[in-house]
Structure 1
Amino acid sequence: MDAVTRRWRTALFLFMLAAGTGMASWVARTPAVRDGLDVSTGSMGLVLFGLSVGSMAGVMSSGPLVRRYGGRGAISVGASLIVTGLLVVAAGTGLSLAAGVFCGLALFGGGMGLAEVAFNIEGAAVESVIGRPVLPVLHGCFSLGTVVGALLGMGLTAAAFPVGRHLALVAALIAAAAVRAVLSIPHGTGKDDGNGAPGSGGLRGQLAVWRDRRLVLIGVIVLAMAFAEGAANDWLPLLMVDGYEVSATAGSLTFLVFASSMTLGRFAGGPLLERFGRAVVVRISAVVAALGLAVVIVAPSPAMAGAATVLWGLGASLGFPVTVSVAGDHPHDAAARVGAVSTAGYLAFLVGPPGLGFLADHIGLRLAMTVVLALVIVAATLAGALGSGRRTAAEPDPVTP
């Protein structure tokens, strides 16, 4: 690997670590933000909706921006929105302005959605250069950042450190990582230069990639595995509190166990993928996640359910990055395919968990998780569509449009 590619890869890892820290820092200080705004839980739910609105907008606009300006340009815009959003949230909290926090979360979510899809495209490009898995470690850095951010948030909360100052410091950290990333990422990755496949540009080109039946199967897998990850991120602490009657602290610690398992699985995934291939690894991962979910749903004790989240986290860890990597194995439309599959995954992150909440109102969170279990089983069944390993650009796609 030459020095330029090494700096490129390192910059991606560093920014994803910072982004994960930023996301978890915000989540950890949510109670302090609510207290600063002096609003009810229901009103706080409306404030939090800003994050969903922004994230959806960022995810949907990322592909077109990458095609027009390249991954570097999209990441620059996304990072700017993330930093600005955190600063606006900090200011809104200090001034007790719920509308300000809503706008800040919209900016933050838009930046995260925009930057992360672009980073998947960049990561897939690095993989094609060095011929080794990169995306699992890239997502592992984000997961590690969530662990760091959660621990930092817990510590600063215990020390009664002002939430505004905390978020401002995290914004400065992300800004520094973004500058390093932008300076190290080459120009033009994913940019539509007019020499790709016919009709590859614009909305029509984005939709055209879904004519490939294999990509549709890959999209279903990434949607299912992203749903499993997002369900835990949004509902695992509350599931433990409501479903097993543990304390809020115990519920948070259970989520920390899950996040740590995700991190471990992603960092350990590279050698496994090189040895056994992507289809085998994702199939086994999905089975492990299904086993963990099943135990969480039916466990007779909170201790057993908490231990099962290790399996849930390990199993869900590789599904998203590996399927995105597979989508990038195409001689012409790699960026378009990665963008399409990434968008499907992030839509599952955003839309799926709220749907689980609606279902849980009627049958409870434990039973609602059977939907996630069913989707993970579907992912295990379809894993053969991922192929045994990486293909070179000279090899044809196994299933043509």
Structure 2
Amino acid sequence: MQTAPPRAARVATWLYFGLNGFAVGMWVVHIPSIEQKTGITHSTLGLLLLVLGGAAFLGMQVAGPLVDKLGQRRLVPAAGILLGIALFGPGLATNWWTLGLTLILVGFGNGSIDVGMNAQAVVVERGYPRPIMAAFHAMWSIGGAIAAVIGAATLRADVPTEVTLALSGLLCIAIALAASRFLLEATVPDEADADDGAPREKPPAKLVWALGALAFGLMLSEGVANDWAALHFRDILGTSVSTAAFAYGAFAVAMTVGRFLTDRVAAVVGPAAIVRWGAAMAAVGLTLVIVVPWVPVALVGWAIFGLGLAGGVPQLFTAAGNLDPRSSGALMARVVGLGYVGLLAGPALIGGLAHWMPLNIAFILPVVLCVLTFFGGPILKRAPANR
């Protein structure tokens, strides 16, 4: 039985997504100051970021089964509190190994809450007559934007990094505790709860991996924009560093706006169409970036790329969470985990390709993945409906 009204649970889930985006944003904004404080090199930082990513992936795989076993009302707040506590660490680190230890905790907390809050979003969405998943993901972006503004202001005011991160961690803990009472517990639909002696049919493994593969491609493409959009403007189009920032800005703003719009469109055309035609739009946008070396057109291209990618991943996560309500956490851990691997792998793959070809030509990789997603999108029609 649901213990909180869906509207309250929806707001609570918004807060958890915002909390996660805020925590990640606070860490990212303070990377340069932490690097300077600990005295590590760029190469060491790169290795530590891989450690963080590995810990996040591990957190996802651990949290998935725990969501199903312990329940979302326990796991999600616990993960939020863990992430808040972990946020204290990087600001207190004094060398590479203390930073590495704290980033393991940050990564594990981030991965745990990622799976938990997405599983909660699926449960909340079941209580609504329309899709609402994409707006949750938009709140993650809003949380990150708030962190960027606050972080920039505190750095400009010379507030010590350890103070800012500690206060941010306390805020995350407070939000996790305050929102926990409004969360819903997963419910099993009547047809899945029937006990007629027949063995329970598990979702086809191929379908789970197919959803994960689509998430991998879309999130790899997102990772490319996150790390390489500004560098494309600077290195290929020859802009200043300040102008280059607009490339990522166009992508991020378009993606956030797109996620607020996606739910209404998905209610009309369905999730498969969102994934397919969103991927097609993304491919067109990035193709403009590749073939037209002119700043105004490239800016539009990055915006179209972000708008196209906005809705696909939320639809895939919803589909994964509804494959089997009794094991939605474990199933989502696989799909979310594969997507996260793509998010980490994308920038590295583009960096490797850029050693052998111009950066804009290396962007053909995410274009190809978007085209493959267009053709693979109909797989969502085989997933159970949200309601």
Same fold (TM over 0.5): yes
> Within 1, Cα distance between the matches of 2:307 and 2:203?
31
Residue 43 (structure 2) aligns with:
42
Offset of residue 135 of structure 1: 1.3
How far the C-alpha of 1:320 sits from its partner, in A, is 0.5
Secondary structure in 1 aligned to 2:184?
A: coil
Say if 2:352 is the partner of 1:358: yes
Q: Which moved more, 1:379-388 or 1:292-301?
A: 379-388
**Counterpart residue type for residue 289 of structure 1:** A
- 1:237–1:251 Cα contact (<8 Å) kept: yes
Deviates more, 1:6-15 or 1:354-363: 354-363
1:301 aligns with 2:294: yes
Identity of aligned residues (%): 27
Once the two structures are superposed, the pairs formed by residues 12-161 of structure 1 within 5 Å of their partners are: 12-92=13-93, 96-161=94-159
Give matches, 1:173-322, under 5 Å: 173-187=171-185, 209-211=203-205, 213-322=206-315
2:380 aligned with 1:380, yes or no?
no
Give the Cα separation in 2 of the matches to 1:215 and 1:97: 41
Q: Distance in 1 between matches of 2:303 and 2:224?
A: 15
Which letter does structure 2 place at the counterpart of 1:383? G
Cα distance in 2 between the residues matched to 1:316 and 1:329: 22
SS in 2 for 1:130: coil
- In structure 1, distance between residues paired with 2:198 and 2:179: 29
Relative to 1, partners in 2 of residues 1:48 and 1:371: Cα closer, same or farther, differing over 3 Å? same
- Residues 78-134 of structure 1: per-residue CA shift (max 9 Å, x gap): 223311221011111xxx322222222221111111111111111111111223212
Shift in alpha-carbon separation, 1:189–1:354, aligned structure 2, 3 A: farther
Cα-to-partner distance string for 1:9-53 (whole Å, 9 max, x where unaligned): 111101211211221222122111122223322222233233212
Aligned mates of 2:241, 2:89 — CA distance in 1: 28
The alpha carbon displacement at 1:346 in A equals 1.9
The separation in 2 between residues aligned to 1:149 and 1:392, in whole angstroms, is: 32
Q: Retained in 2: the 8 A contact 1:56–1:110?
A: yes
Match of 1:304, SS state, is helix
Q: Residues 348, 6 of structure 1: CA spacing in aligned structure 2 closer, same or farther, 3 A cutoff?
A: same
Unaligned runs of 5+ in 1: 201-207, 394-401
Q: Identify which of 295, 317, 335 aligns with 1:341.
A: 335
How big is each residue's C-alpha offset from its partner over 1:230-250, in whole Å with a ceiling of 9 and x where there is no partner? 222233233333333333333
* TM-score, with length taken from structure 2: 0.89
SS, match of residue 133 in structure 1: coil
- Residue 161 of structure 2 is matched in structure 1 by 163
- Asked if structure 2 preserves the Cα contact closer than 8 Å seen for 1:12 and 1:119, the reply is yes
Residue of structure 2 equivalent to 1:205: none
Distance in structure 1 (CA, Å) of the matches to 2:290 and 2:150:
30
Quick check: 1:284–1:380 contact (8 Å CA) kept in 2?
yes
* 1:36–1:155 distance in 2 versus 1, CA, 3 Å: same
2:23–2:84: 8 Å Cα contact kept in structure 1?
A: no
Change (3 A) 1:389 1:26: same
Would the aligned equivalents of 2:4 and 2:182 in 1 still touch at CA under 8 Å? no
- 8 A Cα contact 2:68 2:326, kept in partner: no
Shift of 1:269: 1.0
Cα distance between partner residues in 1 of 2:63 and 2:193: 17
| Contact 1:50/1:103, CA 8 A, preserved across alignment | no
Contact 1:147 1:256 in 2 (8 A): no
TM-score by length of 1: 0.86
Question: Could you say if the C-alpha distance between residues 277 and 217 of structure 1 is closer, same or farther in structure 2, counting changes exceeding 3 Å?
Answer: same
SS at match of 2:71: helix
- Cα distance change on mapping 1:315 and 1:351 into 2, 3 Å: same
Q: Does the Cα contact within 8 Å between 2:123 and 2:186 map onto a contact in 1?
A: no
Per-residue displacement from partner, 1:238-288 (whole Å, max 9, x unpaired)?
A: 333333333333333322222211110111111111122222222221111
Q: State how far apart, in whole Å, the 2-side matches of 1:350 and 1:71 are.
A: 27
CA distance in 1, matches of 2:54, 2:167: 25
Separation in structure 1 between the aligned mates of residue 33 and residue 199 of structure 2, nearest angstrom: 52
Aligned pair in 2 of structure 1 residues 100, 227: CA closer, same or farther (>3 Å)?
same
8 Å CA contact retained: 2:71, 2:185: yes
Letter in 2 for 1:244: L
Q: Residues 65 and 327 of structure 2 are in contact (CA less than 8 Å); yes or no, is this contact kept in structure 1? A: no
Contact 1:290 1:376 in 2 (8 A): yes
Q: 1:25 to 1:37 in 2, by over 3 A?
A: same
Residue 376 of structure 1, CA deviation: 0.6
CA deviation string 1:189-245 (max 9, x = no partner): 69x999899588xxxxxxx6452x444433332221111112222332333333333
Distance 2:194 2:112 in 1: 23
